[in-house]
Structure 1
Amino acid sequence: MSSRRLAWFFTGLTALTYLLVVFGAVVRTKGAGLACPDWPLCFGQLVPAMDFGVILEWGHRALAGIVSLGLLTGIVATWRNKAALQAVRGLLVAAVVVLAVQIVLGGLTVLHLLAFWTVSSHLVVGNAFALTLGLIAARLWGLVRPERPRAPTTAAARLTIHVTAVALFAQLVLGGLVSSQFAGLVCPQWPACAGDQWFPTFSGLMGLHIAHRLTAYALVVGFALSALTTWGQDSLGAKARIAFGLVLAQVALGVANVLFHLPVEVTAGHSAGAALLILTTGLMLHDLYGRPLSPPVASTMQPSPERA
């Protein structure tokens, strides 16, 4: 398979995995996570009798199986393309490891009856797998597209994007914990939490919810600064602006979740937006690492001749 076809293949597989992550959010919000009470079979059968809950949970497993076969197909095809294999070998190994961990976590989530640590870990690792596939696709597209000179970036942009990416990972973990511990409505108001108190406590489930809110506000600032510090840096700046728009949408969906008491559509949309933001941020980091660092302004200035 040519490098171009491989790039398209992994782009499609990334999109399919993104849908799998969103599908998982729908399963969770519909309360169908235990519609198949055993694993890896469902009611002891490969294809069980269907009702709505079983369709969701079994469908999620079936789609996960398709994605797994897709990765295996992609690995075999890449193995026959030396240039592509050299470019993505490490990422392919990472994808296999992450997928194996995700499969185990999926089984543990059922066998441990939706324990919060399994649900949260399953969410985090699922997003990590989608991101890994996205990076493979980006690396392959770099092989087939002519290399263009990229505008240099700045130390401020690098620092801002890295700090924001770390905060985003923390927010993903916090969001998983809020969801898996049913803490989404412990603060039933916005912007306050309890009456006229914005931060009544930082302990327990309320503290977890407040930490999730505060990190969201910090991410708005972080992505705004990322967009500003990368302004004029062609594709990097474009990705940063997209990420800023996505984080604003995420905050709006989070507020809607509270004000409308966790409607399924909004909750699933919030998970979908988070997955898209993580993918965008990962691609932004990939773009960042391919750029030279512009020298400090002072070092580019020529010393003025001394006056007689």
Structure 2
Amino acid sequence: MTQSLSPLKSFSPDSGQVKVWIRRLVWKMSIATFLLMAIGSATRVMNAGLACPDWPLCYGQFVPTQQMNLQVFLEWFHRLDAALIGMSAIALVGLSVWFRNVLPRWLPWASGFALFLIVFQGILGGLTVTELLRFDIVTAHLGTALFFFVTLLTIGACLSDFQGNNTANKLPWIGLTAASLIYLQSLLGGLVASQWALHQCFFRGDMCIVMNTHIIGVVPAALATLAAIVISWRTAALHPLIRTFANIALVLISSQILIGVATFKLHLQVAPLTVTHQAVGAALLGSLTLLTVFALRDRQSSGQYPASKLT
């Protein structure tokens, strides 16, 4: 009996090992979610949202080989990626609960919330098909995906090895404000896209209020982002990782404004440019989220800091 139990006794990972496993899973889920949103944007731009007329299957099949074309593939692959993320979220909850004794107490709750979001996202995904791409459901679908993305990044950042120098001061709240405004701006962009507001405003004179609200919203979102970037630069002894996210945010906000202007001038006629606009917006939200979380952790730290580990 003692010999039969020895393999089980030998498998006793410590807190550090378990955190590494879960952290890697969360980062991979974050990347998959980012790709999922990019594919979802491509699906919308290519008018493929109803390429699969039924849900959750596509033409009553798991793989619709006979009906497969570019539009069907985009919609089918979008669902496949979402299903894989959903299974990963279940695994995340299972690992968090199983190893709860060696993990932070908040992790099972956070992973459970992430699972709730992805289930809710799946329900909204089904409704986008059954309700024939109703604009409010499509916008809520995007908003939930972005919130799920932010949740994963927050979990990953909180699990990362990090020791700051307690120099962030008010940076977490400025970063949170910038991230919140970028999130709202992304929702406005989703509303513009789901209602085809740009086309309607240019060619019919309708929906101009929706489009102009999105354009005006660039100002506070950009100013808040730039404020977070400048404060990161001007804060002495700030952890270099936080400054890295600030630099990434600068590149992304500059690119996003240029891409937005080009998209507007071209009247959404260049599909890859439109997809890139949405993807860069999600990446900007992600960089500001990481800046905020690490800045908040920096405020809770003291003493010298080692290099952080994100793997």
Q: Provide TM-score, normalisation by structure 1.
A: 0.82
Shift of 1:47: 2.4
Tell me how far 1:36 sits from its aligned partner: 0.7
Query: How big is the shift at 1:125?
Result: 0.5
> Is the alpha carbon distance of 1:277 and 1:76 closer, same or farther for their aligned partners in structure 2, counting shifts above 3 Å?
same
User: 1:213, 1:78 → 2: CA distance?
Assistant: 42
Report deviation, 1:129. 1.1
**RMSD in angstroms over aligned alpha carbons?**
2.2
Counterpart of 2:48 (choices 5, 17, 32) is: 32
- Could you tell me which residue of structure 1 aligns to residue 267 of structure 2? 261
Match of 1:230 in 2: 232
What CA distance in whole angstroms lies between the structure 2 residues aligned with 1:128 and 1:11? 15
Q: Is 1:160–2:179 an aligned residue pair?
A: no
Q: Which residue of 2 aligns with 1:206?
A: 208
Match of 2:186 in 1: 172
| Superposition deviation, residue 245 in structure 1 | 2.0
Aligned-pair distance for 1:87?
Answer: 4.6
Q: Residues 266-287 of structure 1: CA distance to partner in whole angstroms, max 9, x if unpaired?
A: 0110111111111112212212
2:150 is equivalent to residue 148 of structure 1:
no
Q: Deviations over 1:116-156 (max 9, x none)?
A: 00111111101111221122222222xxx2x423242233x
Per the alignment, residue 98 of structure 2 pairs with 80
CA distance in 1, matches of 2:229, 2:72: 43
CA contact (8 A) 1:32 1:56 kept: yes
Please give the residue correspondences for 1:94-109 in structure 2 after superposition, counting only pairs within 5 Å: 94-109=113-128
Q: How much has 1:85 moved relative to structure 2?
A: 5.2
Moved over 6 A (4+): none
Is 4-13 or 173-182 further displaced after alignment?
4-13
Measured at CA, do residues 238 and 24 of structure 1 come closer, stay the same or move farther in structure 2, by a change above 3 Å? same
Secondary structure, counterpart of 1:290 in structure 2? helix
Corresponding residue for residue 242 of structure 1: 248
Please point out which of 8, 11, 18 is paired with 2:27. 11
Is it true that 1:131 corresponds to 2:158 in the alignment?
no
Shift of the alpha carbon at 1:186? 5.2
Q: CA deviation at 1:185?
A: 4.0
State the 1:180 CA deviation: 0.3
User: Is 2:40–2:78's contact at 8 Å kept on the other side of the alignment?
Assistant: yes
Q: For residues 293 and 40 of structure 1, what CA distance do their matches in structure 2 show?
A: 45
| CA distance in structure 1 between the aligned counterparts of 2:55 and 2:79, rounded to whole angstroms | 10
For 2:164 and 2:132, how far apart are their aligned partners in 1? 52
CA contact (8 A) 2:124 2:141 kept: yes
> Which residue of 2 is the match for residue 282 of structure 1?
289
Give, in angstroms, the shift of residue 35 of structure 1: 0.5
TM-score normalised per structure 2: 0.82
SS at match of 2:207: helix
Q: Residue in 2 aligned with 1:65?
A: 83
- The Cα of 1:207 is off from its aligned counterpart by 1.5
Partner residue, 2:69: 51
Question: How far apart in 1 are the matches of 2:200 and 2:223?
Answer: 25
Question: How far apart, CA to CA, are the structure 2 residues paired with 1:246 and 1:87?
Answer: 31
Q: Say if 1:219 and 1:247, in contact at 8 Å, map to a contact too.
A: no
User: Structure 2: how far apart are the matches of 1:65 and 1:163?
Assistant: 32
Segment drifting more, 47-56 vs 120-129 = 47-56
**How far is the alpha carbon of 1:293 from its aligned partner?**
8.4
**How many Å separate the matches in 1 of 2:176 and 2:70?**
42
* Structure 1 residue 184 displacement after superposition: 2.7
Runs of 5+ unmatched residues, structure 2:
1-16, 302-311
Measure the CA separation in 2 of the matches of 1:136 and 1:158: 16
Equivalent residue number for residue 183 of structure 1: 197
Q: Which runs of 5+ in 1 are unaligned?
A: 189-200, 295-308
Q: Distance in 2 between matches of 1:286 and 1:181?
A: 34
Determine what percentage of the aligned residue pairs are the same residue: 28
Structure-2 separation of matches of 1:88 and 1:258: 42
CA distance in 1, matches of 2:224, 2:193: 24
